[in-house]
Structure 1
Amino acid sequence: MNSERTTIGQVAEWIGGRVEGDSTATIRTLASFDSAEPDTLTFAADAKRLERLADCQAAAVIVPDEAGIVPDDARIGNGATLIRVPDVERAVAELLRRFAPPADVPPAGVHPSATIDATAQVGPDVAIGANVMIVAGAVIGPRCVLAAHVVIGRDVTLGNDCVILPGAVIEARSVLGNRVRIGPNSVVGAEGFGYIQVDGAHQRLEHTGNVVIEDDVDLGACVCVDRAKFGSTRIGRGAKIDNLVQIAHNVQIGEGCLLAAQVGVAGSAKLGRFVVVGGSTGIRDNITIGDDVQVMAYAAVASDIKPGQTIGGIPARPVSLFRRMLAAEAKLPTLVKRIKALESRIDELG
């Protein structure tokens, strides 16, 4: 975080807030509610924290401006300042952006240890770090950042302003749009998991397609996106994918999807627009999940899902049914005892 001090008034200008208290007081950084100190700024959006304003030690607290949520005469325990904003979450996002330290990426230019094939095309104002390898036929768009040890394969295309972080590998023929961010040690375009049994042995199948990642997609660390057997594995515009996610060959991820850590999507599955998938969920091959579906963590999705549903469980079911089944499951030990007692009673009567 930024070590320079900033006035509360300046913070309020950044986030479109209204100050109640001393706008000339200064803060050093942004902190969580429970760890806030007298020279920090924090925030309270939920009822649990708003009820504890009197206990907060921060210099100022960002709170909702919605009528009745925080009384006009509310004050923090140490007499500090409130900043009322229309949207606390958006205000915090803006402050995180402003207080964040500089990104740990190479400066513009080409590091002397990088290897760039003579046939590769590298746009203006790129930053290419130590030991980067760019193979024949690759096209790197303007202002891209390739951190140390990145490998860009044959005939790969990167759009404008992409950021490829250390150790990532973009394999042959992959196409990335603009402003794509690939996390450390992720692999895009590796061969899919496909075999055929011949004479008692597993024979690897060639995967002749590629991966297409549309604009504004983020991949976390250690994500694997396999290239298609035919055609393209595709990740739609604006999708955000967490660490340790596996996306198999020919999968289609729709616009704006969110996939949490350790999700696995099997071959040729199709996710619609703005699907949200909780962590450690498995999605089987060749199924379709409709737009706006929400999948609870640890689910196993084994069949097509209609748009707009919230599902969970193994196998995944509509959440209302899943919760009823969990409630019934909790009663099973008691039911078993009752059944055994009834069986004993029947035996006595017999």
Structure 2
Amino acid sequence: MREFKLTISEIAKLLSGKVTGDGDEHIYTISEIQQAKRGSITFLSNPKYRKYLTSTEASAILVDESFQKTSFPNGLTRIEVDNAYLAFTALLETFQKLTCTVKTGIEQPSFQAASASFGKDTYLGAFSYLGEQVKIGDHVKIYPHSYIGDGTIIGDHSIIYPGVKVYPKTIIGKSCTIQAGAIIGSHGFGFAPRQDGSYTNIPQIGNVELGDHVDVGANTTIDCATVGTTKIMDGVKIDNLVQIAHNVAIGKHTVIASQTGISGSARVGKHVMIGGQVGTVGHIEIADYTKVGARSGITKDTRSDQILFGVPAIDRQEYLKAYAVYRKLPELLKKIDELEGKILNLMSGK
């Protein structure tokens, strides 16, 4: 692993930021604010972490230009930027590029079918498998123990981490990242009931297509379509342990958090935000810009820009009103019991 060593001023220049303090000190690593030591840089964008400003040992901190300077401790060098969170993301990307060894070449043992092709600066890890008619673009990294099925296409600069299984006919766009253990193109959950109560398997002959800049988390599964394509559009970000069923379509730049399940033939719009442990029924449409709170259940079509909570999910304001009543149920029950007692007393003439 290569060394990361930049001065604070060099980092500020990289991020188009302004230094207040000692810009000549060297930075060797990046840390969380509560764990940072000398020689590290951290960031602050969430107000809940302000309490660590006086105790952090970081050499420098990234903050928004709008940060209140009066609450800033003396002696801590800061880099002021337009958006500390985005700047920190850019810094992490730089750190990764400067410290990670760039892998290229073909490790053995591995298997590449005679009809498979791959571009320049490809990395094929040990025990990886490339099937017939596989087409791999330039600068693609396929880590050990990954399976790439027949007819799969993978675009330039994509990364397939260890143990990924990509079923035949899958299309993966450019600059995609598939984390370890993910399965792309597995059999959709299709079974037809018989009269005797048993089930017969419905062949799933479609495929999966991922657009450009799609991220798929570890141990996430995306099923192939029964017929046609399960389609994940450009810029979609899918967390670990997510299930995307057959014939689902997900629009551009949608984000889906862990342990969510999207049922078959659901249509999810663009710029949708779905929290963790959300479930949907099949064949529904989640409109563009919908936001779904964690552990909600979506049972019907949504409207654009809705914020939904609950099971079944309802509009956020309705949910908060209903929850306010729910919290008072013990108190309301007590009042009802008291009223019933008074009514019974009146009826008995007491």
Deviation at 1:50, TM superposition (A): 4.7
C-alpha contact 1:126 1:145 (8 A) present in aligned 2 = yes
Deviation at 1:60, TM superposition (A): 2.1
C-alpha contact 2:287 2:302 (8 A) present in aligned 1 = yes
Secondary structure in 2 matching 1:336: helix
Aligned length: 345
Which residue is 1:245 aligned to? 242
Which residue is 1:214 aligned to? 211
Which residue is 2:68 aligned to? 70
Query: Structure 1 residue 171 and structure 2 residue 138: aligned?
Result: no
Deviation at 1:325, TM superposition (A): 0.9
CA distance in 2, matches of 1:156, 1:120: 9
2:105 alignment partner, one of 109, 117, 127? 109
Deviation at 1:28, TM superposition (A): 2.5
Q: What residue identity is the alignment partner of 2:42?
A: T
Deviation at 1:7, TM superposition (A): 1.6
Q: Percent identity?
A: 32
Which residue is 1:294 aligned to? 291
Query: Structure 1 residue 324 and structure 2 residue 284: aligned?
Result: no
Which residue is 1:261 aligned to? 258
CA distance in 2, matches of 1:300, 1:176: 30
C-alpha contact 1:3 1:29 (8 A) present in aligned 2 = no
C-alpha contact 2:253 2:272 (8 A) present in aligned 1 = yes
Deviation at 1:102, TM superposition (A): 4.4
1:111-190 aligned within 5 A: 111-190=107-186
Query: Structure 1 residue 10 and structure 2 residue 10: aligned?
Result: yes
CA deviation vs aligned residue, 1:34-81 (integer Å, no higher than 9, x gap): 222233222223444457644443222222223xx333x77534x232
C-alpha contact 1:256 1:273 (8 A) present in aligned 2 = yes
* Structure 1 residues 51 and 102: CA distance shift in structure 2, 3 A: closer
Secondary structure in 2 matching 1:143: coil
CA deviation vs aligned residue, 1:238-297 (integer Å, no higher than 9, x gap): 000000000000000000010000010000000010100000000110000100001000
1:276 alignment partner, one of 273, 276, 279? 273
2:190 alignment partner, one of 185, 188, 194? 194
Q: What residue identity is the alignment partner of 1:345?
A: K
Secondary structure in 1 matching 2:304: coil
* Structure 1 residues 40 and 161: CA distance shift in structure 2, 3 A: closer
Instruction: Normalising by structure 1, report the TM-score.
Output: 0.93
CA distance in 2, matches of 1:156, 1:64: 44
Secondary structure in 2 matching 1:333: helix
* Structure 1 residues 96 and 131: CA distance shift in structure 2, 3 A: same
C-alpha contact 2:117 2:136 (8 A) present in aligned 1 = yes
CA distance in 2, matches of 1:214, 1:314: 31
Q: Which structure 1 segments of 5+ residues have no match?
A: none
C-alpha contact 2:208 2:225 (8 A) present in aligned 1 = yes
CA deviation vs aligned residue, 1:289-321 (integer Å, no higher than 9, x gap): 100001000000000001111111000011000
Moved more, 304-313 or 123-132: 123-132
C-alpha contact 2:3 2:99 (8 A) present in aligned 1 = no
Secondary structure in 2 matching 1:208: coil
Aligned CA-pair RMSD: 1.9
Deviation at 1:104, TM superposition (A): 7.3
Q: What residue identity is the alignment partner of 2:112?
A: I
1:330-341 aligned within 5 A: 330-341=327-338
Q: What residue identity is the alignment partner of 2:204?
A: H
* Structure 1 residues 142 and 61: CA distance shift in structure 2, 3 A: closer
Deviation at 1:154, TM superposition (A): 1.6
Q: What residue identity is the alignment partner of 2:343?
A: I
* Structure 1 residues 137 and 47: CA distance shift in structure 2, 3 A: closer
Deviation at 1:163, TM superposition (A): 0.9
